[in-house]
Amino acid sequence: MPTDIPADSVGLISPQTATFDEPLPLRSGRTLPSYQLVYETYGTLNADRSNAILICHALSGHHHAAGYHSMDDRKPGWWDACIGPGKVIDTNHYFVVSVNNLGGCHGSTGPTSIDPATGRPYGPDFPIMAVRDWVKSQARLADRLGIERWHAVIGGSLGGMQALRWSIDYPERMRGCAVIAAAPKLSAQNIAFNEVARQAIASDPDFHQGYYMDHDTRPKKGLMLARMLGHITYLSDSAMREKFGRDLRSGTLNFNYDVDFEVESYLRYQGENFSDQFDANTYLLMTKALDYFDPAADHDNDLARCLSQSRCRFLVASFSTDWRFAPDRSEEIVRALVKARRPVSYLEIDAPQGHDAFLFPIPEYVDLIKGFLGSLETGGAA
């Protein structure tokens, strides 16, 4: 609980809701007849509407990126370290927009919302979203907010994929694109991890083929397992070693099958905590959106050709110990952009945190983003 709101915080924030009655055609071939998007904004849109930055969230993220919802909040938004007055994404200067993606479980229309056709929750019948569907819905929100052109679209991990998609689908609507700890598509190993997570959820007896809300229950155990697995892939070997080593929970081996090591206790805690707050169908949907993301597929698998449509400047950043989307994966994007002769800068940041590093205010990372956002104002060079 923040007894005082820190001076560099955006402070108390109220989420907003935008309702759309225009149907949204989806990549799957289905259509979302109407929907609502929940979002937050920080800072002030300037007179010529040129200072707006869109933040795209990752798999388990949401619209609450900075500040507090109430004085009782234990923690601020998920990227509070980087968004606020005087911070990297300086809200004294920029107007920041952060949206909960469709299919999410934090207020935007998703599997827990009521399907107007049936009067019951969508559940597993909510259409599977593709990254391009999210981007389309975000563009409609931009229209609604009067933002013709983003100063930059920024995202880490799955958020980075949305930023990349933006540059392909709406090339004229952004000056800069920051793609952080992402990949141009998932590898077999990435998909494999997602599949294990999905199976963990689907095999929970409380899953009921996704209709668990009709049974007034939730597949908590399965979602917990999925999160535990995911969490391991977000951390590096060295980060886990540093954090837990082989420390024992009770100082001694128990010779039973309960928790012995601190790392087990930590994962269980994280998993349980997550399964209390997150919807299993949303988790399934998000992992599918990840698996399906492959913008080059529409261009004979030629990513360079695909990205040659872009008109913005790119910043690509990776982290040395990230093995979920390793630096090599970011370099695939960079290579394609060079081949397409698009302006791009790339840095592999030396950081011990693994994939999660993108959330931390690592000094050179902070300087990099700050420098990039600033350079977009002066025009910079192609």
Site for other proteins, rule CB under 8 A: 313, 315, 334-335, 338-339, 341, 343-350, 364, 367-368, 370-372, 374-375, 378-382
Is 21 marked as a binding-site residue?
no
Q: What share of the chain is helix, strand, coil (3-state, %, to 5)?
A: 40, 15, 45
Q: Which residue reads 């849109």 in tokens?
A: 45
For other proteins, give the closer residue by CB, 102 or 183. Answer: 183
Is 249 marked as a binding-site residue?
no
Closest CA to 11 of 56, 88, 70: 70
**Contact present, 94 and 53 (Cβ < 8 Å):** yes
For other proteins, give the closer residue by CB, 263 or 349. Answer: 349
**Contact present, 12 and 42 (Cβ < 8 Å):** no
* Residues in CB range of 257: below 8 A, 6 or more apart: none
For other proteins, give the closer residue by CB, 214 or 377. Answer: 377
User: Measured between alpha carbons, how far is residue 60 from residues 33, 65, 157 in Å?
Assistant: 25, 12, 11
User: Measured between alpha carbons, how far is residue 300 from residues 63, 170, 297, 303, 328 in Å?
Assistant: 34, 20, 6, 8, 21
C-alpha angle with apex 63: 203 to 360, nearest 5 degrees? 90
Amino acid in position 213: M
Give CA–CA dist 75/66, Å, rounded. 10
Amino acid in position 195: E
**Could you report how far apart the first and last alpha carbons of the chain are, in Å?**
46
Catalytic residue positions? 157, 322, 355
What tokens does 295 get?
Answer: 């913008």
Helix (H) / strand (E) element for 175: namely strand 174-180
For other proteins, give the closer residue by CB, 191 or 304. Answer: 304
Tell me which DSSP letter residue 252 carries: S
Minimum CB–partner distance for residue 268 and other proteins (Å): 37
Give CA–CA dist 111/142, Å, rounded. 24
Give CA–CA dist 171/337, Å, rounded. 14
Dmax over CA atoms of the chain, in Å, equals 67
Annotated binding-site ranges for substrate: 227, 356
